Structure 1
Amino acid sequence: MARERISLVFVLVLLLSFLALAACDSSEERAEEHFKSGLELIDKGDIERATIELRNALKLNNEHVPARLAFARILRDGGNDRTAYSQYLTVAEQEPQNFEAQIALSEMALENYDMAELKKHSEQALEIEPANLEAMSLNNTQQYLSAMDAKDDAAMQAGVVKARELLEQDSSLVSARKVLIDDLVRKQQWEEALSQLQKAIEASPKEYELYRFRLSVLDRLGDTDNLRAELENTVSVFPENPEIKQALLSFYVKHNDLDAAEAFLRKEAESDDPAKTSQLISFVLQFRGPEAATAELERVLSDGRLPPMMFKAQLAQLKYRGGDLAGAIADMQAVVDENQPAEGEAASPELNNVKVDLARMYAQQGNMVEARRLVENVLSVDSANPEASKLKANWLIQDDKTDDAIVLLRDALSNSPEDASLMTLMASAYERQGNKELMAEMLSQAMEASRDAPTETLRYARYLMAEEQMLPAESVLIESLRANPDNLELLAMLGGLYIKMENWAQAKGVITRLNELGTDQATNAALSLQAQSLAGQNRNEDLVAMLQGVEGNPGTKKAANIAIFRTRASTDGPEGALNFVEDLLKDAPGDPDYTYLKAGALVALQRPDEAEAIYRDLVTQNPQKPRLWATLHRLYLLKGDTEKASETLREAMEANPDSAELKLSMAQEVERSGDIEAAIKLYEELYETHSNSVVVANNLASLLADNRQDEASLAKAYAVARRLRGTETPALQDTYGWIAFRQGNVEEALPYLKAASDALANDPTVQYHYAKALAAAGRTEDALEQFKKSAAMLDESGSIPAYQQDLDDEIARLSKPADQ
């Protein structure tokens, strides 16, 4: 029986082996059939079905190299380079000697400017077929580009010579022609570069980068007619490419051919894509006005071809912009209500976007309860929704809950890794935490994600300039200007940077460029920079002459006269400035700006009563101008008339109850009067609406840390003051250092308090703070000296601060002999 069982097992094993072999053969045979069918379909032009057949072949036989190569070719021809690259790479791993795969990988590496991969695969291709011209060309291109990176001119020139030799043997070698094109562009031989580009495009008519290069050359040549024709041609060759469509649209707008731009967008909107219709409506709104946009939206809605939700929401937004706030919010709420999903179903992304827009409306109207409810509703079903995340993160940052904001933003960035505004918010959160390194990193990443867009570039450059990193700031501004050569803000900031660097020649170049733009804004910016440049070089006579030369222009007259007034004040003193402004008032009697300047000159001439009469008259005529009230208030303080100063401030607040400037002055006045709790309340109110203000944050944190002992107040002071970490401003150093000390971080506090003590040597409170930290660090003698310094100042001033008793106790304690 045992032998029979063994025989039976043996037979079964043999049978299973035969079945497995049969299945294997059947699988490979079926794979081959799918492959052959795929090739036949390719010959017939039926690419969609051919793709299915090739996929089936690879499912049955993953090592079917011809099928994978055919599949890779289809992918590449269809523009799916990433997946094609993966397929070719699989072939190269299975068959390292496969020449087709190595060449394809080399070509795609060159298109992506991946030098490591280009070197690897071109060398492998050349090893397989040393005499192959395509392999030689790709390898030569890699060597040329490497030489360019290394700034090796001799090796680059050798690459150009080799490229010409290869093209003489085979004119279709696109990689060799790219070397010639690059060399010609570097030498600014534009016409020859265009000729070579035409030949490259004829050899490779579907390579988008060649068209982009030709557009760039035409732009450099300023050949507007051919640039337009080429843009239109490129759109026809690549009809699904959004970048080139946007470039053509921007060209039309830049050259004020709004009819062509609108016609282009209307043709795009003929599709069933609501986003394209929305783009048309945005264009109409921007260039034809809200009435035309409203009519367009009503036409789209009456047509009924597209889902109405998005367009009803846009109508509500137009109504909101037009000032009908309540009506707009009601309409938007109706859109939300009408499109609520059925029970158990999730809200669509479009509905969530409408909810976020409605939340913005509620927030702008001060209804934060409803705004936050809507945002939380969106995030409950779409936790990484970028727009909802931005709103909530901004609120968290304003509430100093920066850790929560950062967690939320990281989650949103994981789903939208190229969203520059998410990165900007992250930078804001890090700024609140006083983490300048991470703040700078996020600002830089935001700029990169936006592809050097002006807004992000300006923000990062502003930070670099504040950190005295002038050369990096110059670099990022120039890089953005390459893509945005006419951007006024970029040019103005670059010009201002050169003036700070005292690089007068480069500043002059920017001024010239601004004047070339020819717009009123650009001309005014150029005049401002020219005035700053001349003033910076102490060329006051030239400055006055320049300003007098433009004061006849109505658009620049007043600005020029004000600048001349300031120059007169610095060169001729207040008397000369007063004479100048009185001459101006003869031609423009009662002009409020010139009258204001006259009052300032009178103050400088120690004629405060005359100035007071002028300021009082100005505030009577212009009660809603907080700046005038603030100036009058400061004048009374300068005169020592605190009663009138207080009375003026109360009048100002009645006329301008929402003015942050006046509320800040009121808080400071209440603080000076000794009513600390009232001052804290005012600062807290200010902080709710102006939490980005460093002055408000510093004053609030300082008052909390100096006058309250409870843990909650100290924690709030720290949350508000964290942004001051790393500051070099003495008053801010004192605030941050004192709060750090109060929290027990003595070692962190000491350098801040030492720097503040040195800079504010006559402030008894600052000296007291530093003394307390020294005592806590065990530096008894230094602490005693500081306490005595603070006490001497207080004795001299006659003031008795809240910490007076502690100061006396500390001096007594530290003065005792060590053995007592």
Structure 2
Amino acid sequence: MARPTLYNLMRKFDLFLMMAGMLPAAASAPAPAASRPTCRAGVAGRGQTAAGFPARSRTTESTGVFMYCKSTAFRRRLPLLPLLTAMTMLLAPPHALAQADAGRLQQALSAFDDGDFRTAEAQLKDLLQRDPGLAEARLLLGRTYLQLGDGAAAEKELQRAAELGVAPNRWRLDLAEALLQQRRFEDAVTSLEEQAAALANEPAAVRAAALGLRGRALLGMEQIDEARMAFTEARRLNPDDRLAGLGLAQVALLANDLAAAAATLDGLLARFPDESNLRLLRAEVFRGVNDPEAALEQYDQILARERDNLRALLGRATVRVSLQRFADARADLERIERLRPDVVVVHYLRGVMAFYERDWETAAGHLEEVLSVQPTHVQSMLLMGVVSYARNQLQLAEEYLSRILRAMPDNIQAAKVLAATRLKLREPARAVQVLEPFSETGDPQIMALLGSAYMLAGDPERGQQWLSQAVETTPDAAALRTQLALTLIAGGRMGEAIAELESAVDLGQDVLQADVLLVLALLREGKADEAIAASTALETRRPNSPIPANLTGLALLAQGRLEPARERFERALELDPRFTTALINLARVDVAGSDLEAAEARYRRVLDQEGGNLAALLGMAALAEQRDDPAALESWLTRAQDANPGATQPGLLLARFLIERGDYVKALGVARAHAARFPQNPEVLEMLGRAATLTGDTANATRTFAQVEELRPNDPRVSYLLGGAHWKAEDYRAAATAFRRAIELRPDYLEARLALASVLLAAEDYSAAVAIARALQADYPDNQLGHRLEGRILLAAREPRGAVAALEQALAMAPAGDTVRELADAHHRAGDDARAIELLRDWTAQQPADLDSLAFLALLLQGEGRDEEALPIYLDLYEQGTENVVILNNLAWILHQRGDPQALEIAAHAYEQAPNQPEIADTYGWILFNSGRRAEGLNILQQAHLAYPSQTEITYHVAVALQSVGRGDQAARLLQRLLRDHPGAPEAPRARALLERLRGAAGD
């Protein structure tokens, strides 16, 4: 059963940021052990967390509670009574501690160290009631209030302790913490700046702690870069400062860099595995990447140590609700209520569960509790609007949802339900007013609701267009289950969609809308006869509407019955001559009958009426494609995109066309612009990822495909594309992970298995790659693919004899030129050139048109010194127009050695093809030089030498040319370097002889 839209809201919104005002600031459950850091919760205002961290933006703006923990690094506990007494005496307070008071203070300190802050608070209050002037008690009470999250009370006690003579170095950081808890960020910064001179003399750990506090205050002031600098400096001073690390992780979250946040937190957790605040934030990151199970694991680890940790209980309950594990969630909520009966968020979560269970009365009761405390809580208002809609309390739904849209005009969920409410109220014009601002989002639910609204408003043509667009859009769009079955149709779940439509369980509750979608759903499932029956029945019920006849025509067209379909479309036009949908469908009939001129005339007639009609513009583009007119095709697609900025199809088609044409850069530009308009559309993002991959922008490609994977976590093809992008970026480990995920989702995904083997091969993990090849042999015993793959892997692993065996088996199963060349290469690498040449001769005798195999044969012959046999093959390839620069280069060299003047022409052609390839440039330059064009030849030879200075033959050629033009000193230096660095090179004897001649000439 499909989950309602709020399931997705629960996943998208960080509930820690949704619950503003729901959790009293001055309360917290005690932690069980003093050795662990304790946590607190604070109430955050709009756009910020209680700790002063700006709230990370999600799908909609919200306010909330951010749970965070205070490290023990900020607690200056004094566990020994003698030390406490001695320090108190040094301070010379107005009152000396009596023995009984010292004992009570020690008891309070022990309770503090045990994490029992309520007990410590009670004992300290009792002590101070007896003697208000006890400075140490004031200081400890201030720190206790910090642990309880009561910043105002903490500030009061800390200031009193200061007045009683406690040294500033013992309270200055605690005071800043108290100001942070009250969200007085500027005051906190001022306080720290006032203490800057004194802090400069403190140890590095204390200065780091102060910088961490400053960073948190700056985050609260939304000065992100300055906060990052403060946290970074704190970590430099004290690598063990956990809150600074936590701050850097939060900065990464604000930048939506979940990977960086995860890396920072994982590094901290490796060193501080029991630090609860780190795990709380790590859980949030897991939720941000849509990994609720991993988030639950983090909460479980915290609660295993701190069973009453309120933040972890709230987080786990929230995730369990989003996963619809209601029994487990209720257990957490019951525990929270026992610990803190005043946590309003519990009502919200209970309301969400009741909503899932369609218990509207219970849901409304809990949501009313929330709104009585926090009347502007957006999520509760939205849910209350949906619940009121479901209870048919339409005026109440209108009130709540209108309030949300006034405060948050971009809230698309509120717009959808408000529009549905107005449709139920029979106010289609007001529904259109709500929906029109969202018409360019590409959201299929918006399109469906617009279609319903226009139909009810008496505009069937526009209604039909919006409904048709909705059916064609993204199949993964979320939808309320009670709305149109459109999402089910687009997602291919036709049985469910048809059942929904037949029972008229949709937001619109409109018979015509249900009938239209029912016919379209039946057609998409291939049930044309049933579709004809449904549309014919609709024609009977609505004889004056063009829509039923048009639907019948569509069903007949789907059956290939062109003339009956034409008759129904013409009937629709008789009923409404301006019903352009039928005119477009008549053009489709013309195309099916190969009458492109008639189709174009109809499309142009539509465009005369509606210049931006999407279907007509795409139809013209399709005609251009059939006519093989790429310029017109691009022009029509561009016009369609410009005229319909809310439609995804034109941009997708345009980007795909540009990619097929090889214009990758332009395709990337189109895809980027499209993704900016449709940032959550998987098809658009996938196209952006493809274009980025093809242009070499692998960082953007991997990031984009990762987004698509989040949107479609169960689509193996997306993981495959992500793996390909990682592969191109040469991140073999990440590529292998993505390919394995694709295979896990679809074990018979052959392309992914081959890609995984190739990545393992690139990473030189030969044994794992061979294992995949042999698994393919077992799974596909009649296919040569596994054997050929094994041969390639063994060749790369420098095991040519094993490769020969595998490739011989592949060749026996499926003779092919590629396999022949691979097998010949294996023989060559195994030292059996005779067998390689024999194999290629036999094959090319049977397949004389296999130019690649002929080229390989010529290369092997030349390598064996059999130039006379290689030459006719090279000449034959040249005459057939080969552009292979290696073939051209080798042919030119052989001809040059024979004094054939044609060598220069061929060498020049090779150089034109690959001027930056040193060996090609060397051949051309050497032939030029020896043809009398010495200056030109020397210039090209020197360019080749600069590109490949360690290639001895090129070096020798340059030296000869330099010597010939009277630059013997330069030639001698080159020759000396050649002989020094490569004394065993084939050119060494000639180089030595030339050097001796140069020295002799110099002596003369």
| TM-score for both structures, normalised by structure 2 | 0.37
Higher relative contact order (CA 8 A, sep 6+): 2
Between structures 1 and 2, the one with greater helix share: 1
- Higher CA-based Rg: 2
| TM-score for both structures, normalised by structure 1 | 0.43
